Each structure stands twice: as structure tokens, then as C-alpha cells.
Amino acid sequence: MAAYNITVDPSAGPAGGVVVRVGFGDPAQNDKIVRDAKASLDNLVAEHQLAGGELVLVNGPASLPAACVVAHAVGHLYSTVGVFDPKMAGYVISIAHGEKYAVGDVIPAA
């Protein structure tokens, strides 16, 4: 098992976004976690599960280094990136390259 796992939820997320589930696997330090996160993202792109588009929503636990790897990768593929905040019961827009969403907007989880 990997130290960090990333999958694409097959059901459409709120606002039609692609939901990416992230989470820790085997215990490891961040150097291993970020390598596994990058490898998982590369596989999802190669398998066309992360093809790019308007909106991606990231949900799950992450260390700061892992979150940076995920944000960097999906930020190149999608114009808008939202990250789930359980306290707000929604996805906080963290990267916005279009006019539909602005950084700080919240998309309710469901």
C-alpha cells in the first residue's frame, strides 16, 4: 500500500465538479508521502481519470506538503480548485482562474 492515496469519485460532485478523494495510507514521512501523491496523480492523468476542466473538488486529509503537490497538479488541469472544509460543510475555492468562481467562494457539499 502507498503512503498516500488519491482517487477520483465516479459520481459527479457539487456544481458538477470532479471530486478527488485524498488520504493517508501506510505510515511514512512527508518525503515518501509527496512522492506517492505525485505518482498517484500521474497515474490518474495517464488513465484519463483527471482530464481537466472547469472545477475539481478535493476532499480528505492531507499534510501541508501533500496538499501542495495535489494543488499544483490539479491547478494545471482545472480552472477552479475547491478544498473541502468540514466546519463549513462545503468546498472553499482556493484556486480560481475564471470568472465563475472567486477565491473564498464556498460550494455546499450537497
| Number of independent structural domains in the chain | 1
- Tell me the pLDDT tens digit for each residue of 98-110: 899 999 999 999 7
Domain assignment present for residue 9? The answer is yes
Q: Can you spell out the DSSP letters for 26-92?
A: S---HHHHHHHHHHHHHHHHHTTSS--EEEEEEES---HHHHHHHHHHHHHHEEEEEEEETTTTEEE
Confidence of residue 74 (pLDDT cuts 50, 70, 90): very high
The pLDDT assigned to 69 comes to 98
Is residue 107 in some structural domain? no
In a domain, 41, yes or no: yes
With respect to residue 52, please indicate whether it lies within any of the assigned structural domains: yes
Quick check: is 87 in a domain?
no
Residue ranges making up the domain that contains 36:
4-81
Residue 9: pLDDT band with limits 50, 70, 90: very high
pLDDT tens digit sequence for 23-73: 999 999 999 999 999 999 999 999 999 999 999 999 999 999 999 999 999
Cell of 74: 490539479
Length of the chain equals 110
**Domain-located, residue 88:** no
